[in-house]
Amino acid sequence: MVASRMWSALIAATSVIAACLCTAVAADAAGGQWNGRYTLVTYASQKNGSSMAKLQFEPDFSAQFTFATDCSSGLCVATVVDGPAPSNPTIPQPAQYTWDGSRWVYAYNWQWNCFRGDGVPAEWAPAKSQVFYAPAQGGSLVGTWRTDILGGECRGFVVMPVAAYPA
């Protein structure tokens, strides 16, 4: 009976250790570490959605950012440690992307600055965004930036493709 309990405990402990090791190896192999300098591109010219904001022309934009990943809590979080500040001051900083097992995800609340035409004051409205980047070829990442605009004339959602390329 004692031997049976010890054997069960040994199997349970081994399973936990193996699961932790497999998760760490899988996360690393699939992109669980996002470190170094990357050029992030937002393809604003390809935006789509239900908001009238999708109809407003915007050029694609890009900037370089440096990422550092910390997995010490058991959850891998890649933080932007260097790069330009966003043009909208309501976007939380620093940006922190969490590894969900297959992609990096950053969700945040902010204020959308709705352009309503020349000579018309812009309208600020609450918004929720979720950006994700999934590993792709050559160390790059690709994904989507979705924003749900919760009120005002721009109410609806906007979706834009995004990508990150090692710099």
Predicted TM-score of the model (pTM): 0.79
Decide if pLDDT at 27 tops 70. Answer: no
- Asked if 88 and 110 count as a contact pair (C-beta separation under 8 A), the reply is yes
39-57 average pLDDT score: 96
Strands (E), 28-122: 36-42, 48-49, 61-70, 77-82, 96-99, 104-114
Decide if pLDDT at 38 tops 90. Answer: yes
Q: What percentage of residues in the chain have a pLDDT greater than 90? A: 78
Gap between the Cα atoms of 28 and 24, Å rounded: 6
- Asked if 161 and 134 count as a contact pair (C-beta separation under 8 A), the reply is no
pLDDT digits (tens, 9 = 90+) for 60-98: 999 999 999 999 999 999 999 999 999 999 999 999 999
- Asked if 82 and 66 count as a contact pair (C-beta separation under 8 A), the reply is yes
